[in-house]
A and B are shown apart, each in its own frame.
Chain A
Amino acid sequence: MSSLYQVLSPTGELVGDLKGQLDEATMIKMYENMVLVRQFDRKSINLQRQGRMGTYAPFEGQEASQVGSAMALTPGDWLFPTYRDHAAAIVHGQTMARVFLYWMGHMEGSISPKHLHIMPPCVPIATQMVHAVGTAWASKLQSEKHVSIAYFGDGASSEGDFHEALNFAGVFQTPTIFFCQNNGFAISVPFSQQSASKTIAQRSAAYDIPGIRIDGNDIFAVWLTMKEAMQRALEGKGPTLIEAVTFRYGAHTTADDPKKYRDQESLSEEWRQERDPLQRVRVYLENQGLWNETKEADLIARVNEQIDAALVEAESYPKSKPEDMFKHVYAEPSWMATEQESELVKPSKQEGIPA
């Protein structure tokens, strides 16, 4: 049952084939990216605690899944993140400043660099999956060599949209990658209670598309699996469902207390000790003579500097004005909204209203 594809073991040993694809520079970049997003995540939680940011959804523990999958993409590919996939978005080119802004309660935090197709974090569960079918379908129809990737969780696999997305993608053979981070829980409900299926990957059989279950804490496995899925998609061979088995160490969001539904400390500690995605790469790189304490210290200093700069940028972003809410609702605002806007900006104090 449910064997996991693994390339790099938790103790940092190569147990799978690199297929001649993963070079040292990429491995180092992988590690650096994971360190960056982990620091970013921790910083965000602190900012939330200091009241400088709203409710935040942390991802620590899921770095290999997000970073590895996003690093496999090319700039023209379409990325559909959820509220937990900022690491994937950042690696694909979203600026950290924008991610901060989003969690500070500004819609402008959803704007991505112009040349990239990074969608706003999707809040309703599973609904973005069908969009990723649509954009991929259009890419195919327009002969553009791009894939669309939809991120989602194990809980999302219960929603109707999950099934509709897989079915459409299978029927129309769209270049879509369905990337599930199975972190074991949808808020409080464990996967065993979410579904009677043993795995999420096996659902692919029903739609006759390839499904693969991988160690989501093994960034080499994630990256190689993604590369293969992308190649298949770009050769016109349709979608892939990837189930990356992972764990989030922290709470569902900063507004949630997991102590009620899982043995938070000890489960997180166990994953941290035994399966941490950063640790195994670091050990591997050290064993290869590619990493050491000095490099580590340099890296931490470097990423913290980047994160601080992004924070300064986000916090000095102009304050939203009340009238901003009327922008971008339609291409041309209706008279109804225009009147309401003037009422908001200048509360009417005149006596009497025109007949």
Chain B
Amino acid sequence: MKRKLTMIQAITEATDQKLADDSRIMLLGEDIGVNGGVFRATEDLIHKYGPDRVVDTPLAEAGIIGAAIGLAMNGKIPVVEIQFLAFIYPGFEQIVSHAARMRYRTRGQYHVPMVIRTPYGAGIRGPELHSESVETFFAHVPGLKVVAPSTPYDAKGLLIAAMEDPDPVIFLEPTKLYRAFKQEVPEEMYRVPIGKAKVVQEGSDVSIFAWGAMLRVAEDAAKQIERENGLSCEIIDLRTLYPLDRDTIIASVKKTGRAVVVHEAHKTAGLGAEIISIINDEALIYMKAPVKRITGFDVPVPQFSIEDDYLPTTERVKDGIMETATF
């Protein structure tokens, strides 16, 4: 009875099960109905639940997200799909000025239980503006939760948790991993708690923090380093980018005394800086070396002829690990 699913299949299954489970759930987005979404995350759901619950909207992100806020305030649980992360910008105003602040502004009288799902990240040879990794924009805004799964199992469990969360959740799906591999995913509904990181691999010499597609790069680098230099790496998948799982981060660096953060977002003011701050605040005296960041650069994600050079590579991560290890 071991079923293996891709991340996209896990996302479809989570959505399907919640649609069946809770009549308040409705999906909104461009091309999500008849077409099943450009990545097929909502494939066939319109046939199962009808066009009132799986809604092909006009091409208007402010309209979609703004209307979803109203729907959420009045008894529905909208799950919005934005086609690519960079196309969220027309709806950014609605997210930061309204979805994030409604509970605060109404002193808890209204809240906005909604999920905004969107593919993000590079490595797919997409055209301009199809490969952004700007999670910081959202992690920076009080009132939003930000989630980024790296496996099919987590994608299903986190998405169900997101759909049951009373606050707006930005759900970032690493495009590169949609169909990259399959994993065993339970058939029943289960939850992966928002706000909890996962220790993917225990280790004693260096902690590596990553999320989304970068987790695979971190794992690769750790495996090679272990073989080549005998270093034991602890790998942590943050899974939730806001709120961060401080306890897991601190427990790990107290053990290893060394840390590397890997993210594909631009370096400056990326989440790596926040993780380093947390380590400084809570565990500075345990550290044997400065924390190293291996990130994308402070440049627009380049077009695909040099896209791979933008992304952290296994080599770069290995260099980073060795730098902290030999400090």
Binding site for B on A (CB under 8 A): 54-55, 83, 104-107, 121, 123-125, 127, 155-156, 158-161, 186-189, 193-195, 256, 260-261, 319-322, 324-326, 329, 334, 336-337, 340-341, 344, 347-349, 351-353
Q: Least Cβ distance of B321 to chain A in Å?
A: 12
Q: Are B306 and A320 in contact (CB under 8 A)?
A: yes
Q: Are B58 and A326 in contact (CB under 8 A)?
A: no
Q: Is the CB of A347 within 8 A of B319?
A: yes
Q: Interface 1/0s, chain B 36-56, versus A by CB < 8 A?
A: 101000000000000000001
Residues of B within 8 A of A194 (CB): 58-59
Which A residues touch B1, using CB under 8 A?
none
Across the interface, A160 reaches (CB within 8 A) one of B60, B126, B128, namely B60
Give the distance in Å from the alpha carbon of A278 to the alpha carbon of B89 in the complex: 39
**Chain A interface, DSSP helix/strand/loop, else mixed:** loop
Could you tell me if A55 and B126 are in contact, using CB atoms closer than 8 angstroms?
yes
| Bound: A322/B35 CA distance, A | 37
If the complex has contacts A195-B58, A329-B299, A340-B267, are A322 and B306 also in contact, measured as CB distance less than 8 A?
Answer: yes
Chain B residue at smallest Cβ distance from A338: B298
Closest to A317 in B: B305
Neighbouring A residues of B304 by C-beta, 8 Å: 54, 105
**Interchain CB contact under 8 A, A158 and B60:** yes
Q: In angstroms, how far is the closest chain A Cβ from the Cβ of B70?
A: 16
Bound-complex Cα distance A322 to B311 (A): 11
**Chain B residues packing against A (C-beta within 8 Å):** 30-31, 33-36, 38, 56, 58-63, 86-87, 89-90, 125-130, 267-268, 290, 297-300, 302-307, 309-310, 315-316, 319, 322-323, 326-327
B56 & A189 in contact (Cβ 8 Å cutoff): yes
Let me know if A260 and B36 touch, CB within 8 A: yes
Most buried by A among B87, B89, B267, B299: B299
Inter-chain CA distance A304–B205, complex, in Å, is 62
Question: 10 A-B contacts, Cβ less than 8 Å apart?
Answer: A123-B130, A160-B62, A186-B59, A260-B34, A260-B36, A325-B302, A326-B297, A329-B300, A336-B267, A344-B297
Highest count of chain A CB atoms <10 Å: which of B34, B36, B59, B126: B59
Report whether B305 and A161 are in contact in the complex, using a CB–CB cutoff of 8 Å: no
Contacts of B302 in A (CB 8 A): 107, 320, 324-325
Of all chain A residues, the one with the shortest Cβ separation from B316 is A347
Whether the pair A187, B31 counts as a contact (CB closer than 8 A) is: yes
Is A340 in contact with B297, judged by CB distance below 8 angstroms?
Answer: yes
Query: How many Å from the CB of B312 to the closest CB on chain A?
Result: 11
With a cutoff of 8 Å between Cβ atoms, the chain B residues found around residue A349 in the complex are: 319, 322
Residue of A nearest to B86 (CB): A124
- Whether A320 and B297, one on each chain, are in contact in the complex, defined by CB atoms closer than 8 angstroms, is no
A351–B305 Cα distance when bound, in Å, is: 32
Q: Tell whether, in the assembled complex, residue A189 and residue B31 are in contact, meaning their CB atoms are under 8 Å apart.
A: yes
- For residue A155, which residues in chain B have a CB less than 8 angstroms away from its CB? 58-59
Chain A residues with CB under 8 Å of B326's CB are 351-352
A329 & B31 in contact (Cβ 8 Å cutoff): no
- CA A106 – CA B30 in complex, angstroms? 28
Contact A107 B127 (CB under 8 A): no
Interface centre among A127, A156, A344 (most CB of B within 10 A): A344
CB-CB < 8 A to A189: which residues of B? 30-31, 56, 58-59
Closest beta carbon of chain B to A330's beta carbon, Å = 10
Which residues does chain B contribute within 8 Å of A324, judged by CB atoms? 302, 306
Say whether B298 contacts A353, CB under 8 Å: no
Complex contacts, A107 vs chain B, CB 8 Å: 128, 302-303
Q: Are B59 and A106 within 8 A (Cβ)?
A: no
Chain B residues, CB < 8 A from A125? 59, 87
Question: How far apart are the CA atoms of A122 and B297 in the complex, in Å?
Answer: 23
In the assembled complex, the CB of A188 is this many whole angstroms from the nearest CB of chain B, namely: 4
Per the bound structure, the CA–CA distance linking A159 and B89 in Å amounts to 12
B31 lies within 8 A of A124 (CB): no
Q: Are B306 and A159 in contact (CB under 8 A)?
A: no
Q: Which of A188, A325, A336 contacts B309 (CB 8 A)?
A: A325
Q: How far is the CA of A216 from the CA of B95 in the complex (A)?
A: 38
Contact indicator B59/A348 (Cβ below 8 Å):
no
Chain B CB count within 10 A is highest, among A54, A188, A319, A324, for A188
Evaluate contact between A320 and B58: CB separation under 8 angstroms: no
**CB atoms of B306 and A325 under 8 A apart:** yes
CA A123 to CA B301, docked complex, whole Å: 14
Known: A54-B304, A105-B307, A189-B31. A161 touches B298 (CB 8 A): no
Q: A52 to B87: give the CA distance in the assembly, Å.
A: 27
Cα A125 to Cα B267 in complex, Å, equals: 28
Tell me, in angstroms, the Cα distance from A104 to B322 when the chains sit together: 36
On chain A, the residues within 8 Å of B127 by CB distance are: 54-55, 83, 123
B47 to chain A, nearest CB (A): 12
Contact B34 A344 (CB under 8 A): no
Find out whether the CB atom of A124 lies under 8 angstroms from the CB atom of B129: yes
Q: Which residues of B lie under 8 Å from residue A326 when comparing CB positions?
A: 297, 299
**Assembled-state Cα–Cα distance A197/B151 (Å):** 43
CB distance from B119 to the nearest CB of A (A): 13
A256 to B39, CA, bound (A): 10
Query: Which residues of chain B are within 8 angstroms of A351 by Cβ–Cβ distance?
Result: 322-323, 326
Instruction: For the complex, give the distance between the alpha carbons of A334 and B269 in Å.
Output: 14
Which residues of the partner chain B approach A55 to less than 8 Å between Cβ atoms? 125-127
Residues on B with beta carbons closer than 8 Å to the beta carbon of A261: 31, 34-35
Return B175 CB to nearest CB of chain A, in Å.
Answer: 12
Give 9 nearest A-B pairs by CB, closest first. A188-B35, A322-B309, A105-B304, A158-B58, A155-B59, A105-B305, A325-B302, A320-B305, A158-B60
User: Looking across the interface, which residue of chain A has its beta carbon closest to that of B308?
Assistant: A322
Would you give the shortest CB distance from A281 to chain B, in whole angstroms?
A: 32
